[in-house]
Amino acid sequence: MNKIENVSRRFVLKGAAATGGLVLATSVGMRRAMAETVDLSYKTGASAMPHGVVTNPKVFVSIAPDGMVTIIAHRSEMGTGVRTSLPMIVADEMGADWTRCHVQQAVGNEEKYGNQDTDGSRSTRHFLIPMRQIGAAAAAMLASAAAKRWGVDVKDVKVENHEVIHVADGKKLGFGELAAAAAAEPVPPVESLKLKDPSEFRYIRKGKVQIVDLHDITTGHATYGIDAKLPGMKFAVIARPPVVGGKVKSFDASEAMKVPGVEKVVEVKGWPWPSVFQPVGGVAVVARNTGSAIKGREALKIVWDDGPNASYDSAAYRTEMQDAARKGGKVVRNLGDADAALKSADKVITGEYYLPHIAHASMEPPAALANVKDGKIEAWACVQSAGGTRDTLAKTFNMKVDDVTVHPTLLGGGFGRKSKCDFVIEAALLSQAVGAPVKVVWTREDDIQHDFYHTVSFERIEAGVKDGKVVAWKHRSVAPTIGSTFVKGANQQIPIELGMSFVDVPFNIPNIRCENPAIDAHTRIGWFRSVSNIPHGFAQQTFVAELAHALGKDQKEMLLELLGTEGPIDPRKQIDGQLWNYGEPYESYPIDPRRLRGVVEHVAEKAGWGRTVPKGHGLGIAAIRSFVSYIATVVEVAVDDKGNITIPRVDTAIDCGSFVNPERIESQIEGAAVMGISVAKYGSLTFKNGRAEQGNFDTFQVARIDDAPGQTNVWIMDSGWTLPPSGVGEPGVPPFMPALCNAIFAATGKRLRTMPIGDQLKA
């Protein structure tokens, strides 16, 4: 893997300049469904994303005369392994030997590479087929070049292990020897491509390929946004308005300028609230190193105008949300007549749940280096959306996109925060102001106090039971919306929020009503790994266990009963507006309770559901469809007599359809359980006087090694290649918290309806 290392180091500042050698031909048209191969006949939402999909092998693959294959990674790497998995698909399909492949990161350029928004757990689901097509096209061009050289029919040659082989007489030509000739071949039309039979895969689904950055990561040579370097660069930190919508009234920089190492104090332009992805403004201290900049910032004297959100108070807001949830509001899904069914029910069960804001707190805070010079911008940053960042920079600075280059570095975690490029714009504004490259680093306090927060939510579910059956389901969800970050005054959840474990509830219940009472936002709301599935799913899956208890049933049996045994359910006609199905066509990705049943039954069996556990232990289960994957988790918890919890074991079954890299799926699910522990035990970000009350890992705690489960077992449902691929990065989080709280109920009889757990179990 030496070659790969070299590339990722070289990437540090030279960026993803095209390498020499071959290059494979011209453009092919839009991707088309591959009718002749059954497993590829599904459609995804990929082409509906900005700039869609590019399957031009010329863009993604080049071969050097020494045979080294360079494959472009066009999505951002934040820990999911995508920078390895997608190029690996190309390599496998083209018959390349992975040890002779480089991975080269693409700069932001969606016209060239297709969509680069690395979020929504969609890299594999949108690019499995295109990457295979790119690999197959490259293989076909190599085969054709060899056949011509030998004067044989292309049918008589095969591509394997970095060579083209003449089947009959065994003669071979290496990729390097064929590079130039293959480059001169026309790109075969997509529909002519013959993709490998899955039995021929060498890397896909094997779980043997290690991430390409592994060596660099373990030796300190991997480059994140915070690590980017340019000669002569300056370092900056920014004091931002403590209240969203606030601004600088006046400031005095005289003391800050006396701090050794401080070179300049600059006011940073802020955009009015809602500022979308633009900076909120403030005062920047530019220094010879970040340590001096931080000290300089401590010496700044700033008078703020707090603006319209200065009274945001989490305790008062909770009451406001609760009132709204009890009153009701806009109907967003209606099936049958839930109110009538509730009225005539034998028994009505009600549950109310509250989940606070959470900060993303990726270990690498937002950080970017920018150089604005001669009418051009070059930036290095840990962004989930290199293409979007480039477009936003161009628009903000009134430049042509061709004059803006964005190099996505590795991301030290993203979780949705780094979809927003405010910090890159800050760096560019400061570079322009000081006439030198500037690196902006957010301190942890900056990160936690100026985040695009996970929403705060109040959920209320009522169910009516008649003759022992659940006949009515009425769910109200109150939460400030992501929409408010884009549109002033937006106060209802938008389709992407409604479509996450709320209106898409996968239960076979005859009367369902979902309501979304309005509530105004007073801070920046963003998306956090798995987004609204966290609050909606927590309420839904905790409530199922509450129902089970009320009806004297087993949690798992209750869940299976609600899922029923019927095929896909289609709520589209019962919904106000469009069902947001994670951006996917419903036909390829229907809501299928049977698949949820499948993971419930599988995980229950693997986890030994119903087994006798020691005193103080309990088992809990939860199952959620999110990002069009189906996932179920069983948590075993141990609660001691002081109310401390530990988690001896977690089992998770995931049905993500066709999959590529099972080893990375496991790591994502293991990590999701730990993130679930953070959310459940500690996750709370609160406001007082419009200001975030937490600032660092002492007040905003996250899980540490002692909190981690003793054992995490991941069970990947294997349906071969019969189902389209679906999400993996996010779906592991939502079922964890309800499974844990259901386990706690089993262990202690205490029902937790408010997150985080905090001291609720303390005697």
Partner 1 sequence: MLKLRVNGTEVSYDGDPSVPLLWVLRDELGLTGTKFGCGAALCGACTVHLDGQATRSCTLQVSDAAGHAITTIEGLHPSGDHPVQKAWREANVPQCGYCQAGQIMSAAALLAQNPHPKDEEIHEAMSGNICRCGCYKRIEQAVRVAATGV
Closest CA to 353 of 539, 229, 186: 539
Write down the H helix ranges in 450-570.
Answer: 495-498, 533-550, 555-563
361 binds, among partner 1, ligand FES, none (CB under 5 to 8 A by kind): partner 1
Number of amino acids touching ligand FES (CB under 6 A): 3
Residue showing the smallest CB distance to ligand FES in the complex: 363
123 vs 334, beta carbon nearer ligand FES: 123
Contacts of 753 (CB under 8 A, 6+ apart): 351, 352, 353, 354, 542
703 binds, among partner 1, ligand FES, none (CB under 5 to 8 A by kind): partner 1
Residues 349-368: x where in contact with partner 1 by CB under 8 A, - otherwise, as a string: ------------xxxxx---
State the Cα–Cα distance between residues 722 and 528, nearest whole angstrom.
Answer: 31
77 binds, among partner 1, ligand FES, none (CB under 5 to 8 A by kind): partner 1
- Expressed in percent and rounded to 5, the helix, strand and coil fractions of the chain are 35, 25, 40
227 binds, among ligand FES, partner 1, none (CB under 5 to 8 A by kind): partner 1
State the Cα–Cα distance between residues 678 and 700, nearest whole angstrom.
Answer: 10
Q: How far is the CB of 693 from partner 1 (least distance, A)?
A: 17
Tell me the Ramachandran region of residue 628: left when phi exceeds 0, alpha when psi lies from -120 to 50, beta otherwise: left
Q: How far is the CB of 745 from partner 1 (least distance, A)?
A: 24
Q: How far is the CB of 413 from ligand FES (least distance, A)?
A: 5
Which residue in 205, 215, 326, 753 binds partner 1 (CB under 8 A)?
Answer: 215
Residues 142-181: x where in contact with ligand FES by CB under 6 A, - otherwise, as a string: ----------------------------------------
Are 648 and 628 a contacting pair, CB within 8 Å? no
714 binds, among partner 1, ligand FES, none (CB under 5 to 8 A by kind): none
Q: Does 279 bind ligand FES (CB under 6 A)?
A: no
Q: Does 123 bind partner 1 (CB under 8 A)?
A: no
Q: Around 310, how many Cα atoms within 13 Å sit in the side-chain half-sphere? A: 8
Residues 41-80: x where in contact with ligand FES by CB under 6 A, - otherwise, as a string: --------------------------------------x-
163 vs 670, beta carbon nearer ligand FES: 670
Closest CA to 386 of 71, 123, 76, 113: 76
- The dihedral through the CA atoms of 237, 241, 247, 251 has a sign that is negative
Q: How far is the CB of 261 from partner 1 (least distance, A)?
A: 5
599 binds, among ligand FES, partner 1, none (CB under 5 to 8 A by kind): none
Tokens of 264: 């300049």
* Interacting positions 285-324 with partner 1 (CB under 8 A): 288-292, 294-295
Under DSSP, is residue 533 helix (H, G, I), strand (E, B) or coil?
helix
2 vs 219, beta carbon nearer ligand FES: 219
Q: Does 235 bind partner 1 (CB under 8 A)?
A: yes
**E strand or H helix at 589:** none
674 binds, among ligand FES, partner 1, none (CB under 5 to 8 A by kind): partner 1
Q: How far is the CB of 83 from ligand FES (least distance, A)?
A: 14
Helix pair angle (593-607, 555-563), 10° resolution: 160
* Interacting positions 660-719 with partner 1 (CB under 8 A): 663, 667-668, 670-675, 678, 696-698, 702-706, 708-709, 711-712
**E strand or H helix at 125:** helix 123-150
Q: How far is the CB of 622 from partner 1 (least distance, A)?
A: 18
467 binds, among ligand FES, partner 1, none (CB under 5 to 8 A by kind): none
Q: How far is CA 742 from CA 137, 227, 715, in A?
A: 51, 43, 21
State the Cα–Cα distance between residues 185 and 121, nearest whole angstrom.
Answer: 35
Q: Does 517 bind ligand FES (CB under 6 A)?
A: no
Which residue in 43, 444, 553, 594 binds partner 1 (CB under 8 A)?
Answer: 444
Neighbours of 646 (CB within 10 A): 16
Longest dimension (CA), the chain: 84
Residue 17 is given by DSSP the state: P
Contacts of 290 (CB under 8 A, 6+ apart): 235, 237, 439, 441
Tokens of 749: 């009889």
532 vs 678, beta carbon nearer ligand FES: 678
First to last CA, the chain: 54
Which residue in 38, 167, 184, 363 binds ligand FES (CB under 6 A)?
Answer: 363
**Of how many residues is the chain composed?**
763
Tokens of 448: 């936690």
Q: How far is the CB of 530 from partner 1 (least distance, A)?
A: 14
Residue 686 is given by DSSP the state: -
Residues 415-434: x where in contact with partner 1 by CB under 8 A, - otherwise, as a string: x-------------------
Which residue in 59, 61, 259, 634 binds partner 1 (CB under 8 A)?
Answer: 259
Under DSSP, is residue 94 helix (H, G, I), strand (E, B) or coil?
helix
Which residue in 81, 413, 416, 593 binds ligand FES (CB under 6 A)?
Answer: 413
Any bridge partners for residue 712, and if so which? 650
Are 599 and 593 a contacting pair, CB within 8 Å? no
Which residue in 218, 250, 398, 612 binds partner 1 (CB under 8 A)?
Answer: 218
Q: How far is the CB of 662 from partner 1 (least distance, A)?
A: 12
Q: How far is the CB of 476 from partner 1 (least distance, A)?
A: 32
79 vs 351, beta carbon nearer ligand FES: 79
Q: How far is the CB of 294 from ligand FES (least distance, A)?
A: 12
292 binds, among partner 1, ligand FES, none (CB under 5 to 8 A by kind): partner 1
Piece of 140-148, 259-267, 350-358, 595-603 that binds partner 1 (CB under 8 A): 259-267
Neighbours of 457 (CB within 10 A): 26
Q: How far is the CB of 291 from partner 1 (least distance, A)?
A: 3
State the Cα–Cα distance between residues 22 and 183, nearest whole angstrom.
Answer: 5
Closest CA to 106 of 405, 458, 321: 405
Q: How far is the CB of 523 from partner 1 (least distance, A)?
A: 21
79 vs 245, beta carbon nearer ligand FES: 79
State the Cα–Cα distance between residues 667 and 374, nearest whole angstrom.
Answer: 44
State the Cα–Cα distance between residues 476 and 496, nearest whole angstrom.
Answer: 16
Tokens of 326: 């009890």
The C-alpha torsion from 61 through 65 and 66 to 68, rounded to 10°, is: -10
Residue 180 is given by DSSP the state: H
Contacts of 95 (CB under 8 A, 6+ apart): 139, 142, 159, 160, 161, 162, 163
Residues making contact with ligand FES (CB under 6 A): 79, 363, 413
Residues making contact with partner 1 (CB under 8 A): 77-81, 210-211, 213-215, 217-224, 226-227, 229, 235, 259-261, 288-292, 294-295, 361-365, 410-415, 441, 443-444, 663, 667-668, 670-675, 678, 696-698, 702-706, 708-709, 711-712
